[in-house]
Every structure is written in C-alpha cells, then in structure tokens.
Amino acid sequence: MMSPGPVTLDVVGLELNFEDRRRILDPLTGGVILFGRNFASRKQLTQLAAEIKSLRPDVLISIDHEGGRVQRCRQDGFTHLPAMRKLGDLWAAKNKSAHNAESAAQAMAAATACGYVLATELRACGVDFSFTPVLDLDFGRSAVIGDRSFSGDPQIVFALAKSLNEGLRLAGMANCGKHFPGHGWAEADSHVAIPVDERSLKQILGNDAKPYEWLDLSLAAVMPAHVIYPKVDQQPAGFSKIWLQKILRNDLGFEGVIFSDDLSMEGASVAGSVVKGAQLALNAGCDAVLICNRPDLADQLLSKLKVSKSKKAESQTRLNRLMPQSPALPWEDLQVEAEYQHAKLLLKKLKLI
C-alpha cells in the first residue's frame, strides 16, 4: 500500500474522470477534499467516496462542512446545521453578560449535538474528516468570517469549540481549528485579497490565539490563516516558521497536523508560484498543503514538489491519526440510532434546525 503524501487536492465532478484517478494515485497525494459540486445525492456521494477509497484506501477524504453558509451537503436528508454564531447567541440569550449558567450549558450541549450530527452524517457517506471548527473571534470586521465564528469572546469560542469537538469525537471524526492565529480582525477576504493584521503579537496571543492554547490536546489539526501579521513576520502565518514552529509547535505545544489553507487563494500569492508556496508552507511547518479548484496547479505540484523522506514520514504519522478509528453507521442505521435521534431532537427543541 502507498503511504500518503502531503498534497490534498480536489476532483472535478460527481464521479472520477481519468485525470482525477491519475492525481489520486500519485504518491504525493495524501488527501481529497470535496466541494458542493461533488454532491448531488447521498447515494452519489457514497459511491464517489467508495471509488476514491478503492484507488487509495490511505487517503483522507475531507470536506468544508461547518454549518450555516459553509456546508457542502444540504439536501437528500442531510441536516442543515446552524451557523456557529447561533450557538454563541444561545449562550448569551438569557444574560447579555454571557455568564448565565443555564444558557451556557444549553449552548455547549447544542454544540456537541451539532458535532455528532455533522460527523455521523458525513461518515455514513464515506467522508472521513471536516475542516471544522472555526476558532476565529468575531470582531465585527471580517465579512468572510462573520457568523462562522462562535463569538468575539475567546472563552466562549473555546468552550463551544471543545463541545463541538467532543461531538465529532463521539462520532469517530477528528477536528481542525482554523484559521490560526486568527482571521477575525483582518477585513480583507483571503480568497480574493491579501489580508493584513497590524496588531501586536501580545494582542493576538492574548485574544485570538487563546482558544488554540486552551484546547490543547483536544485539537487534532490546525489550519493557519493566509493573513500577514507584520509585527510578527512578513510572511502570512501559513508560510511562517515563527507562527508555526516557534509559537504553535513550541510555545503552545501543538502536536497535531498543520494543513495549509488553499494555495490557489489570493492570500497565498505572496509566496510566488504554487510550487514555491507549497515548499515554503512545508518548510515552515505544515504537514499537508491544499490545492483546490485548479487542476492545472495540482499537476504542477505533483510533478515538481520535493519532499524529504524524513519530513514525509513525520507528517504521515500525524496525518494517519486523523483517519476514523471506528466503523461508520450506514445511513439507514443512523436514522434509528438513539444518540443521533437525541442530538437532532435537542437541536430542534432549541430551534437550531
């Protein structure tokens, strides 16, 4: 069996074509990320995931499936999960100072239920992993983050993210906190621009990065932001040894997987070509690099990226931990499972679905 490489790439449509198969079989490929264009029905998604696994059982099939406006699978029985802001609002619903014990407990229970429903439904269709939760703080400045954030309070973000992660864990799915150290202050959208956050390291570590510090061992993976923090480094966080090795690995003690954000985004353009960007991200401390929506750039990566054996082995060990460690329930069995029914009932009772 091939061992997974550092490249996570996407596929074109609802089923694999020849070029998709060729890329998935490349030894540098370690993951496949799915998008809304890859979903038409549960049956089709399950068949697509099975075909990917038939080619490469070792690749991690992932998706951006957070709830709210970022949810790739919305039809054919999938629960339309709330934006994470709704959980933060629930926390503060009965007391504007956000310290009411009853509303906080309800919000944490709802977060766990969201994580469980999210993970069990995806896993029933063959998807291994979702890039969630968003740990960015909502400062009311970033439209691209907005209601994807739980709250502007790092303590609430920590508590709700930890609860969501527990729901994912109970369903056999790992988690990924994003976008380290925080995308909530920078106003620009890194998909189409190069965001800059002029705050000091002390300000960022004292606010935005706190959920990463507090989540500690419950955080399985992290995705850094395509944001430049010039008071710390001239490179965006995902290409910065200071952010990834000194601060995230050494100071915060993070031992999980570091994924780059999509290298085709405008925020990554400061690194140069996609190959230079991937090399810089890996050298800075990323274990895996994402390239999405650009098959031509994926081909460049697979043909030109150089990865040392030691780096690949170290990252493989971490990446393997993200694979589900328990069998998934088929969709029909899931619908009658007590825990799943309880989770959905709770979310309905709280008017979140």
The residues assigned a catalytic role are 191, 261
Cis peptide before 236 (omega within 30 of 0): no
What CA–CA distance (Å, rounded) separates 285 from 259? 9
Residues 282 and 238: their CA atoms lie apart, in Å, by 9
Coil, strand or helix at 65:
strand
324 contact partners, CB below 8 Å, separation of at least 6:
123, 128, 172, 173, 174
* Contacts for 144 with CB less than 8 Å, ≥ 6 apart: 183, 189, 190, 191
Contact 64, 93 (CB under 8 A): no
Whole-angstrom distance, CA of residue 260 vs CA of residue 239: 8
